[in-house]
Amino acid sequence: MRVIARDGEHEIEIQRSRFRCTVARVSDVDEATAVIARVRRAGPTASHHCTALRIGDPGTGGLTARSNDDGEPSGTAGVPMLEVLTRRGLTDVVAVVSRWFGGTKLGAGGLVRAYSGALTATLDTVGELRRVRHRTLLVAVPHDRAGRLEHHLRTSPYRLRDVEYGADVTFTVAVADGDVAGFEAWLAEGSGAPVDVLDAGPCDVYLP
C-alpha cells in the first residue's frame, strides 16, 4: 500500500480563484473528520472546503472511500479528488481543497481540473511512501554475545528498531512478513548458538 510521505499543503490560483489543498495521513475516519474540521476553522472565509479520503486496506476489502463537494456542482470537486487518490493507490489519507472564489465561474470541466490539479500538485510536493507490513521480533541473548549480534544486525538487511539492556540484551527487529523464516535461519547460522525469537506482532515500515 502507498501513503503520503508527510502532511502538507499547497496552493494554486486559477482565474483569481485560490485553491488551497491540505493532505494528512490518518488512521481512521475520526482522525480524518478532525483534520477537515481543523481546516474549516483555519479558513472561515473560504467559499468551499471539498474533501476526499481513503482509509484502510483495499486488499482485504476493509477500505473506506468518501468524497464531498461541499456545495460545488455535483461531481466537480470531491469525486475527482477521490479519483486522484484512487489512481495513485493511496490509503490512510484525507485531502481537503479550500476554494476562495475569485469572481470568475470556471464551469464544470474547469472545476474538475482545478480540484484534481490542486490535489495532484500537493501530492507531488509531499511525496509518497510504500507501507510494508512487517513482524516485530524480539531476540534476547546474553551480554557476552550481544555486541557481535548487534554488529551483524546493523549491517544486515533487517531493521533493528531498539536495543534494551536487562538480565539479557533484547533486540527489537522488524522483519518483512514473508521473511521471518529466513531471518530465523540467518540468526541461527550467524549466532553459533540457540537464540530465542519472540513474535511481538505486526508493524508497518515505510519505504521509498
Q: Do domains 2-126 and 130-207 have the same CATH topology?
A: no
Which residue type occupies 123? Answer: L
- pLDDT band of residue 192 (cuts 50, 70, 90) is confident
Cβ count near 139 (within 10 Å): 23
Q: Which CATH class is domain 2-126?
A: alpha beta
Tens digit of each residue's pLDDT (9 = 90 or more) over 108-142: 999 999 999 999 999 999 999 999 999 999 999 99
Distance CA(135)–CA(61), nearest Å, equals 22
Using DSSP, state whether 111 is helix, strand or coil.
helix
* Dihedral in degrees, nearest 10, Cα atoms 174, 179, 181, 182: -100
β-strands 128-141, 64-68 pairing: unpaired
Architecture of the domain spanning 130-207: 2-Layer Sandwich (3.30)
The residues spanned by each domain of the chain are: 2-126, 130-207
Tens digit of each residue's pLDDT (9 = 90 or more) over 146-191: 999 999 999 999 999 999 999 999 999 999 999 999 999 999 888 7
